[in-house]
Amino acid sequence: MNGGTVWFVGAGPGDPELITVKGRALIERAGAILFAGSLVSEAATRWAPAGCVIADSKDMTLEQMSAWLIAQAGRCQTVVRLQTGDPGLYGALIELVQPLDAAGVPIAVVPGVSSAMASAAAAVESLTLPEVTQTVIFTRMEGRTPMPEGESLAALAAHHSTLCIFLSITLMGRVTAALTAAGWSPDAPVVVVHKASWPGEEKIIRGTVATIQALCREAKIVSQSMIIASPTLGARHWQTLAKSKLYDASFTHKFRRASTGATPDIPQDLPETP
């Protein structure tokens, strides 16, 4: 099939300005845009050129979305599918790509800022801390979509690392029950961020395993919310904090030698060289 490319672009968590520079550039030259109106702000399409065909997919089935994208790729060079957060996380990416592959339509993916990252930023929290946890788990509670064997929240929570729990705010009672079953203290901190980064709509609810459900109910938080449970929460106010070795004066790496008299060391976990 001759025609345009369908770009699956991560629109980010809500604030239109959190889209990537590459994503915005694609919108600026798009001939057609299909955005997920139930989750993506229409403001994300504001950079579209005059004459661009813009449609909202919130009332479409998967088959209708695929047919629309294929049809638009037949008439213009750049078609953008705007997806909330990052296309690779809970975004039905592969389900949409397969019909396009079958039709011979070229596709490409542009990553986006996940609501997990935006929620941590809104709450000024770090998802990892030295000697506390170095692991982040992205997951959800089982609802109409079943979970694979071994991936129950209780099983994952048993690691006592950071949990970013998507698509589960209406199941908060089951979330806290799973944390309790995994041995989390009733006093363990939990933060819920509703519409992270959405201008004028963001809400941050702080509580504990024991209190967060009631606090969310009181705040009428029932949709579009990230639940973060982590032993790192609240570290901003801790009196004692283990520091990263990367910036320690006694730590030698390829970009900086240790201070005189310190024992040189070569870390194994440096970021890749730019």
Bigger pLDDT: 243 vs 67 = 67
Residue 24 is inside which H or E element, if any?
A: helix 21-29
Bigger pLDDT: 263 vs 49 = 49
Say whether pLDDT at 270 is over 60.
no
* Contact present, 228 and 168 (Cβ < 8 Å): no
Confidence tier at 259 by pLDDT (50, 70, 90)? low
Mean pLDDT over 136-165 rounds to 94
The shares of helix, strand and coil residues in the chain, as percent rounded to the nearest 5, are 30, 20, 50
Bigger pLDDT: 213 vs 144 = 213
Say whether pLDDT at 152 is over 80.
yes
Q: What is the pLDDT of residue 40?
A: 84
Model-wide pTM > 0.85: yes
Q: What is the pLDDT of residue 43?
A: 82
Identify the three-state secondary structure at position 56.
strand
Residue ranges covered by each domain of the chain: 5-110, 115-237
Say whether pLDDT at 250 is over 70.
no
CATH architecture of 115-237: 2-Layer Sandwich (3.30)
- Per residue in 101-139, pLDDT (tens digit) is 999 999 999 999 999 999 999 999 999 999 999 999 999
Question: If DSSP states are collapsed to H, E and C, what string results for 150-202?
Answer: CCCHHHHHCCCCEEEEECCHHHHHHHHHHHHHCCCCCCCEEEEEECCCCCCCC
* Contact present, 192 and 225 (Cβ < 8 Å): yes
Mean pLDDT over 72-77 rounds to 96
Give percent of the chain above pLDDT 90. 80
The domains spanning 5-110 and 115-237 adopt the same CATH topology: no
Q: If one looks up domain 5-110 in CATH, what number appears?
A: 3.40.1010.10
How far is C-alpha 192 from the geometric centre of its chain's CA atoms? 14
Q: What is the pLDDT of residue 42?
A: 83
